[in-house]
Amino acid sequence: MKNIFLMKFAKTLLPTLSLLLLVNVFVQAQQSSAVTTSANTNPADKIGLQEAVDVALKNNLSIKQSGLTVESNLNTYEQSKWTRYPNLNGSANLNLFSGRNINPYTNGIITNTVGSNGFGLSSGVTIFDGYQTRNNIALNQTNVEIAKLDLQAMKNTITLNVVVAYLNILSQEDLLAISQRQVEVSRIQLERTQKMVNAGSVPETNLFDIQAQLANDEVQVVNAENAIISAKLTLKQLLNIAADRNVDVVRIEVPNPNIAAYPNSSNEVYEVAQSFLADVQAADMRIKAAQKAVDIAKGLKYPVVSAFANANTSTTTAAEKVLVTQKIVETEAGYVDVGGVRYPVIALLPTSTATSEKIGYFRQLGGNVNLSAGISARIPIFNGYNAKYRTTGATIQQKQAEVQAENVRLRLRQDIETAYVNMSNSAKRYSALGNQVRALEESYRAAESKFNVGSLNSLDYSISKTNLDRARANQIQAKYDYIFRIKILDYYQNKPLNF
């Protein structure tokens, strides 16, 4: 009765299986041709794990942007350090006056066109500003450290993503190798079954079952090849290289892991992680930056005392000097009558002659220098409670930074606890799958022996083989999953990601 049912089932399934086999062979031929052509025209580039990480860090645009943020913050910090020193500025002017003006030399009214030229130097320095300058420099320095830590955190994330993508490719390649071996085994079994059917030792339904098994194995090969393509695309995108570039990863011999207890507890891992991870350090530095912002806001309540000094000189085309020349002139001042005789009186009188001449340009520059110096104070009396509200706002931001730092530590603790549980679960799963594979291998060997002598039907044989194939695939996935879980915990302890 069972054989009759299998015969009917086989007759119904045979056309579908035949069509599936033809389509599958055609697809594989097309893919094989495409791969061969691509390999001939564009040989694959081999890339190792460390090289992949280096390329990703070099090409990642977010990392480049973060690097520019570091440079920008560093530039702001360097500039702010110079605000502690006196400034020095020069000035120059050239003027032309026409019409009714005042002579700058005589303060008289002139109507002709006059030109003037002036130069000046001024310097100022802040003596006291409520420590705002000092705190601003410290704030800018902290911002540089924050930007560097953010950059390092981003590099760590990119590195982990590359490692995951790289391991995924290795895992999929191992799965492909298993799928290909399964196809070879099914083909050998198909040939053997064909001979047994021809000899009449087994029913034809066994042949149909093996053909279906082979078709299923070939589909698994295609699925594995597609998974490799997708995994490589993920790696290429992380490396920021063209998707059509042919890239193969260098195989890393990843040994089968030993199922042993992890040497550190989750609390111990957390204590180490929070002491060095860039994310945590950046959160702490943001608290420090917020504290400096509060100090800057408090400084607005204090007077600002500054010192200044100025030196100026000027010239004008209206500048003239008057030249006065004097000489003694004998002049008859009258007559004197002496004994009836009139004698002229000669007086020696001084006479002055005034002339003017232009004062030289450089002489004016030297003679018109004026200097000034002083100290000024700007005392805040009422500015709309600016200092009060600025201080309150900065204090709120400081509290936000403190809460954010606590949140970063909380997420880190939860991530480590989750990673620890996942590692433990992966270890149990990998160990259980190892036992399962060993048991199914023994079961399959027994089923294969029975099938070869005709004492086991093809359906039971296919079930045994499928169970073993599935267990082996699960074991490979569990192996890489467990290894990666271990590496995650190693990363949290600042250990190198070596394999």
Q: Are 169 and 47 a contacting pair, CB within 8 Å?
A: no
The pLDDT of residue 38 is above 60: no
Q: Please say whether the dihedral angle defined by the alpha carbons of residues 168, 170, 172 and 178, taken in this order, is positive or negative.
A: negative
What is the tens place of the pLDDT at every residue in 315-334?
A: 988 888 777 788 887 777 77
Are residue 317 and residue 406 in the same domain, yes or no?
no
> In the structure encoding, which two tokens stand for residue 418, read together?
């989750």
What is the β-pairing status of strands 101-102 and 109-110? antiparallel
Are residue 329 and residue 451 in the same domain, yes or no?
no
Are residue 197 and residue 272 in the same domain, yes or no?
yes
How far is 331 from 348, CA to CA, in rounded Å? 6
Does residue 354 lie in a domain region? yes
Are residue 293 and residue 197 in the same domain, yes or no?
yes
Are residue 108 and residue 208 in the same domain, yes or no?
no
The total number of structural domains in the chain stands at 2
Give the number of other CB atoms < 10 A from CB of residue 429: 17
Does residue 175 lie in a domain region? yes
Are residue 259 and residue 350 in the same domain, yes or no?
no
Residue holding tokens 């070099």?
Answer: 58
Are residue 309 and residue 418 in the same domain, yes or no?
no
> In the structure encoding, which two tokens stand for residue 357, read together?
């001449």
Residues 6+ apart with CB under 8 A from 272: 264, 492, 493, 494
Which of these three, 323, 350, 378, is where a domain ends?
A: 378
Does residue 166 lie in a domain region? yes
What is the tens place of the pLDDT at every residue in 250-259?
A: 987 766 777 6
Mean pLDDT of the residues in the chain: 85
Could you tell me which residue, 53 or 8, shows the higher pLDDT? Answer: 53
Are residue 57 and residue 174 in the same domain, yes or no?
yes
Are residue 370 and residue 393 in the same domain, yes or no?
no
Does residue 497 lie in a domain region? no
Residue positions counted in the chain: 499
Which of these three, 378, 401, 419, is where a domain ends?
A: 378
How far is 461 from 481, CA to CA, in rounded Å? 30
Domain that holds residue 368: 89-130+305-378
Does residue 248 lie in a domain region? yes
How far is 475 from 469, CA to CA, in rounded Å? 10
Residue holding tokens 């590359």?
Answer: 162
Which of these three, 343, 378, 413, is where a domain ends?
A: 378
Does residue 498 lie in a domain region? no
Are residue 207 and residue 339 in the same domain, yes or no?
no
Calculate the CA dihedral of residues 161, 149, 486, 180 and round it to 10 degrees. 10
What is the pTM assigned to this prediction? 0.77
Does residue 499 lie in a domain region? no
Give the chain's end-to-end CA distance (angstroms, integer).
56
- The least confident of 55-59, 175-179, 270-274, 450-454 is 450-454
How far is 368 from 38, CA to CA, in rounded Å? 85
How far is 239 from 163, CA to CA, in rounded Å? 12
Does residue 361 lie in a domain region? yes
Percent of the chain at pLDDT above 70?
A: 90
The pLDDT of residue 107 is above 80: no
Are residue 236 and residue 247 in the same domain, yes or no?
yes
Are residue 320 and residue 431 in the same domain, yes or no?
no
The pLDDT of residue 376 is above 80: yes
The pLDDT of residue 232 is above 90: yes
pLDDT band at 372 (very low <50, low <70, confident <90, very high): very high
Q: Please say whether the dihedral angle defined by the alpha carbons of residues 492, 493, 495 and 499, taken in this order, is positive or negative.
A: negative
CATH code, 59: 1.20.1600.10
